[in-house]
């Protein structure tokens, strides 16, 4: 089974995006932002792995099309 770099990038971006509301919620409750840190670390690791697997890496303007393509491929 091969892991697709686009899927890794997609999951990494979702985890990093999910980190921000968790961080805000933990700070507003006065809790430690441990879960947000874990989300950020895992998401960042997936993004770095996807960039390393892709020859030439990704450009920032490719990310929206990549997200749409991964979701479209999941439903086909």
C-alpha distance from residue 66 to each of 5, 14, 41 (Å) = 10, 12, 21
- Above 80 in pLDDT, residue 1? no
50 and 12 Cβ atoms separated by less than 8 Å? yes
| Residue 56 three-state SS | coil
Here the tokens at position 60 are 């920032």
pTM of the model: 0.88
pLDDT digits (tens, 9 = 90+) for 27-51: 999 999 999 999 999 999 999 999 9
Q: 57: number of CA atoms within 13 Å, CB side?
A: 6
Closest CA to 71 of 9, 1, 20: 9
- Above 80 in pLDDT, residue 52? yes
pLDDT of residue 76: 84
């Amino acid at each position: 089974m091969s892991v697709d770099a686009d899927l890794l990038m997609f999951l990494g971006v979702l985890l990093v995006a999910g980190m921000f509301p968790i961080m805000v919620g933990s700070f507003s409750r006065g809790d430690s932002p441990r879960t947000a840190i874990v989300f950020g670390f895992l998401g960042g690791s997936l993004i770095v792995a996807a960039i390393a697997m892709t020859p030439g890496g990704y450009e920032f303007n490719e990310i929206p099309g990549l997200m749409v393509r991964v979701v479209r491929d999941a439903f086909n």
